[in-house]
Amino acid sequence: MQTLDDGYFANDDVTDWLLQLECASDVAILEDAFTQVVQEKRDLEPGEYSPAIAAAWVVMALLGQTVEYLPGEVRLFVKRIGKSPQPGLLVSALKAIERINAESSRHELSGGHTRSAAWSQTVADLEARLKQLVQQS
């Protein structure tokens, strides 16, 4: 499960993104985070995909799924939007998380930046939960 200590909502890249989320009136900000990850041709740095991971947790919250830690900005956004996202957004979230997981694994195998086992497991669990929701939709 997501915790503050995992850093998904507690890093500078996501903090900046949360400021934008605070003003957002629709889910376009989530789609933009996923599109940035999925459409980028080069390898991504962790700061570039951190907002997409946070956005995936927001999608989970919009779907009424349990997320252990949600900052106030996310809770307010979910309350403001007040409805489940379209299935296409869920698919976009899954595609982004799949790419992040695959790229993270490649970086570790090549001796690049590594993530903690807890980080890897949490993102793998997020991917599995998203896959299950896509299959159910």
Class of residue 9 by CB neighbours under 10 A (exposed 0-12, middle 13-18, buried 19+):
buried
**Cα 14 to Cα 72: distance, rounded to the nearest angstrom:** 13
Q: What pLDDT digit, counting tens, does each position of 70-93 carry? A: 899 999 999 999 878 888 999 999
**Cα 125 to Cα 69: distance, rounded to the nearest angstrom:** 15
Task: Report the domain count for the chain.
Answer: 1
Domain that holds residue 124: 4-136
Looking at residue 114, what is its pLDDT? 55
Better pLDDT: 117 or 129: 129
Q: With left for phi above 0 and alpha for psi between -120 and 50, is residue 111 left, alpha or beta?
A: left
Structural contact between residues 68 and 3, judged by C-beta atoms closer than 8 angstroms: yes
Confidence of residue 121 (pLDDT cuts 50, 70, 90): confident
